[in-house]
């Protein structure tokens, strides 16, 4: 995960499967034995020399012959200094033992790998870095961590903003293949320059932040240790101590997979996609239909698109498989161009606000303001509003759900319109508390002042992600938000909090067939006196 100073990554290390000699402090000491096909890091003499772009063990004329495939091209361009260390060995052993998983990830990378390799070579950077998304996201463009890191390169929101990556309701450049790759390489280059050409420290900085690595290097120097990654490693976050060895283990395996009995998939060393300029906002389902491909596949190449259409403010382009690009390009260049989006007209009714209309139509109040030239929040009964809508059925945008499976920046996700009938003793405060909403929002939804007194029998509109009413008279019941962890299941969560699986399904409007995702948030109503663990 990309992080600046003070932000740590969320990648956990694997269990140890091999043992190496240790120094006086119990740290695994890097060996001086060379790994086949790799350059050794001068672990005894401080920081290694800057990368030259060519391994000493590689013949100078080896670049004359083109590699058979993209994996071979990466293997020929591995230039990071390497060492033999127990941390690398255990990661390496895991990848060898789980070669099927590695093959799955590499096959998934086929859509993006050629572009990333080309970008690395264009910037004169080690091709080892093309393996970094395996560590970060397993080459899943929809990967989303508990720390809100997103995309192939797992960039957190703050870092994305620092790198100039746009993030709004329509579009998240942290997941965009072109934008995120450019930003990640830019950040890695900054880190490499910060650490005087030491790429291992730069990779560590990508995970732990440049400031954190600098502090670890200074502490290593004060303790009389080397100031390379290995000397600074004991002072780095636990995740970072295994993060760099994971990349080095992958590079070792890619350098010579056959020696270790591993067969890696052949990936054609040619572009997978073309960039088609659309000239404006386009509906994803319509574009996929014209290109003769599935909408899901279009989303996999354009994962930065948050919803059913591209951002009206751009970028106005789509990545399309090479063999499907001509049809889309022809449609764009036709007299009518590529059709944009479908609009519907909504007539405002009593009690409706921009906020709950946005929820009803799965958009945002800001989008409605922009579409209708509204500067504030005031709308009138009988007023007509233009609302953008998808051209296809809701199930025609399958990967939209996947994009937000582990988290979302969309504040309206899961909320729906409910009606509550006021009872004796109710107030705006008590009703808001029951549904986990604010008094201000409850008053706005019902065209009231937050000081108004409720009349018995009045119907209140409530927009909430909780479909149940929890009586405030029972002071033992509390509404909590639980974040799903690795290995959780509906049964395990229901047992832990002493609630039923049926209630979990109802409270969160989910299907029992749907797998829970780490980072997913669930609403629970629990009896606080019945929680012994």
Residues 56 and 39: beta-carbon distance below 8 Å: yes
Q: Distance between CA 151 and CA 1 in Å, rounded?
A: 10
Q: Distance between CA 271 and CA 518 in Å, rounded?
A: 33
Q: Which residues of the chain have pLDDT under 50?
A: 4-67, 335, 394-395, 401-415, 467-475, 532-533
* Tokens 């582990």 belong to residue: 406
Which residue spans within 105-256 are E strands per DSSP? none
| CATH fold for domain 342-389 | Membrane-bound Lytic Murein Transglycosylase D; Chain A (3.10.350)
Q: Distance between CA 148 and CA 408 in Å, rounded?
A: 8
pLDDT of residue 351: 76
Whether 415 is a known active-site residue: answer: no
Q: Distance between CA 277 and CA 332 in Å, rounded?
A: 8
Q: What is the CATH architecture assignment of 414-465?
A: Roll (3.10)
Q: List every span in the chain annotated with CATH 1.10.530.10.
A: 62-260
pLDDT of residue 407: 35
Query: Right CATH number for 472-533 from 3.90.79.10, 3.10.350.10, 3.30.450.20, 3.40.350.10?
Result: 3.10.350.10
Distances (CA, A) of 473 to 395, 477, 479: 41, 9, 14
pLDDT tens-place string over residues 191-212: 999 999 999 999 999 999 999 9
For 466-477, b/e burial (b = at least 16 CB within 10 A) is beeebeeeeeee
Residue 440's contacts (CB-CB under 8 Å, 6 or more residues apart) are: 450
Instruction: Please give the structure tokens belonging to residue 125.
Output: 């950077």
Query: Catalytic pick from 40, 91, 136, 192?
Result: 136
pLDDT of residue 472: 40
HSE-up (13 A, CA, CB side) for residue 168: 14
* Main-chain dihedrals φ then ψ at residue 309, nearest 5 degrees: -140, 160
> How many residues would you count in the chain?
533
pLDDT of residue 341: 64
Q: H-helix or E-strand containing 495?
A: helix 490-497
pLDDT of residue 477: 61
pLDDT of residue 113: 98
Q: H-helix or E-strand containing 115?
A: helix 113-122
* Main-chain dihedrals φ then ψ at residue 157, nearest 5 degrees: -55, -45
| CATH fold for domain 62-260 | Lysozyme (1.10.530)
pLDDT of residue 389: 72
Q: H-helix or E-strand containing 435?
A: helix 428-435
Residues 163 and 185: beta-carbon distance below 8 Å: no
* Residue 294 burial (C-beta neighbours within 10 Å; 0-12, 13-18, 19+): middle
Q: List every span in the chain annotated with CATH 3.10.350.10.
A: 342-389, 414-465, 472-533
pTM (predicted TM-score): 0.62
pLDDT of residue 476: 52
**What is the secondary structure of 57-101 as a DSSP string?**
TS-GGGGGSPPSSHHHHHHHT--S-B-B-HHHHHHHHHHHHTHHH
Residues 199 and 81: beta-carbon distance below 8 Å: yes
Residue 147's contacts (CB-CB under 8 Å, 6 or more residues apart) are: 1, 7, 9, 10, 156
């Amino acid at each position: 995960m990309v992080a600046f100073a003070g932000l740590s990554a969320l990648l956990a290390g694997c269990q140890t499967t091999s043992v190496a000699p240790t120094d006086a402090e119990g740290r695994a000491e890097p060996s001086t034995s060379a790994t086949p096909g790799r350059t050794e890091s001068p672990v005894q003499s401080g920081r290694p020399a800057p990368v030259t772009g060519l391994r000493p063990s590689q013949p100078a004329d080896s670049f004359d012959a083109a590699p058979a495939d993209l994996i071979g091209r990466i293997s020929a361009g591995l230039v990071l200094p390497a060492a033999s260390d127990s941390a690398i060995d255990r990661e390496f052993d895991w990848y060898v033992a789980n070669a099927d998983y590695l093959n799955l990830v590499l096959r998934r990378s086929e859509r993006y790998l050629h572009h990333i390799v080309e970008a690395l070579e264009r910037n004169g950077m080690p091709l080892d870095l093309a393996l970094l998304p395996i560590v970060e996201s397993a080459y899943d463009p929809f990967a989303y961590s508990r720390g809100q890191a997103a995309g192939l390169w797992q960039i957190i929101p703050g870092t994305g903003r620092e790198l100039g990556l746009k993030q709004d309701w329509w579009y998240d450049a942290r997941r965009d293949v072109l934008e995120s790759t450019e930003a990640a390489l830019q950040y890695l280059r900054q880190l490499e320059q910060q650490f005087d050409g030491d790429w291992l420290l730069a990779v560590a900085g990508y995970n732990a932040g440049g400031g954190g690595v600098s502090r670890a290097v200074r502490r290593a120097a004060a303790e009389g240790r080397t100031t390379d990654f290995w000397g600074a490693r004991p002072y780095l976050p636990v995740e970072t101590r295994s993060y760099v060895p994971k990349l080095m283990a992958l590079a070792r395996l890619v350098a010579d997979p056959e020696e270790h009995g591993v067969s890696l998939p052949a990936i054609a060393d040619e572009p997978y996609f073309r960039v088609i300029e659309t000239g404006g906002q386009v509906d994803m389902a319509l574009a996929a239909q014209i290109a003769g491909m599935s909408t899901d596949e279009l989303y996999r190449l354009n994962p930065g698109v948050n919803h059913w259409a591209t951002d009206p403010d751009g970028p106005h382009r789509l990545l399309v498989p090479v063999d499907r690009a001509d049809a889309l390009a022809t449609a764009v260049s036709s007299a009518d161009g590529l059709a944009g989006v479908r609009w519907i007209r909504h007539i405002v009714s009593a009690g409706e606000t921009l906020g709950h209309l946005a929820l009803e139509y799965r958009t945002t109040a800001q989008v409605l303001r922009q579409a209708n030239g509204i500067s504030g929040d005031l709308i009138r009964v009988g007023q007509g509003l233009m609302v953008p809508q998808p051209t296809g059925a809701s199930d025609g945008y399958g990967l939209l759900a996947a994009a937000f499976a582990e988290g979302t920046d969309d504040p309206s996700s899961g909320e729906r319109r409910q009606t509550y009938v006021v009872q004796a003793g109710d107030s705006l405060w008590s009703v808001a508390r029951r549904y986990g909403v604010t008094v201000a929002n409850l008053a706005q939804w019902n065209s009231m002042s937050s000081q108004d007194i409720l009349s018995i029998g009045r119907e209140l509109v409530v927009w909430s992600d909780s479909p149940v009413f929890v009586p405030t008279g029972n002071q033992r019941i509390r509404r909590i938000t639980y974040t799903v962890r690795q290995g959780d299941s509906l049964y395990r969560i229901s047992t832990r909090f002493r609630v039923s699986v049926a209630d979990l399904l109802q409270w969160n409007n989910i299907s029992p067939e749907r797998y829970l995702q780490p980072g997913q948030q669930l609403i629970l109503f629990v009896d606080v006196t019945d929680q012994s663990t």
